[in-house]
Amino acid sequence: MPLREVLQFPDKRLQSVSREISEITDEIRALAQDMCDVMYDEPGIGLAAPQVGEAVRLIVVDTDWTEEDAERAPLVLVNPELSEHDGKIVWTEGCLSVPDFQAEVERAERVRLRALDLDGKEIDIAAEGLQAVCFQHEIDHLDGILFIDRISRLKRNRYTAKRKKQLRIEQEEAGANSPA
């Protein structure tokens, strides 16, 4: 079965607020597995359900994973919430849904995350550094926020113009290559 496709900016579905998961079903477990497969295949260190077209509050994160042969230990987080934001850190972020772009984003240096695992057990994590940044980035996706929404208007507008031009070129090439 092919992997789910990662939605890319400017897809409007990335701007939707996701709904809470009321029951952890086999479909939610299958979605979580699909998301892990996509995250590692891309490769990335985090993925939110809206990025694969599912508007539910589910994220997967593996900030210790660095290469294909490395051990994989994804955190699967259902209905994650952040609290106890502390400190400030500037991190250069990228995103599977925002291709070919990275920018510095100011985030909380330390956060507390509460969520459920796929068995419905409560998870409570005090995170800092990369893990804290990743949690904030992925939970933003659940609220319809992309990291480019947190950078200057000038940088965002430059990226948006470049991305729209790139998509126009791709569409023109696809049209030129289709049979008449």
User: pLDDT tens-digit profile of 67-106?
Assistant: 666 678 899 999 999 999 999 999 999 999 999 999 999 9
What would the mean pLDDT of 124-138 be, rounded to a whole number? 97
Q: How far apart, in Å, are the Cα atoms of 59 and each of 21, 54, 70, 86, 171?
A: 12, 11, 20, 22, 31
Instruction: With 0.95 as the threshold, say if the pTM is over it.
Output: no
Residue 48: CB atoms within 10 Å: 29
Q: Among all residues, which ones are annotated catalytic?
A: 138
> What is the predicted pLDDT for the residue at 100?
92
The secondary element (H helix, E strand) that includes residue 176 is helix 153-177
Q: CATH code for 12-151?
A: 3.90.45.10
What would the mean pLDDT of 34-51 be, rounded to a whole number? 95
Percent of the chain with pLDDT over 70: 94
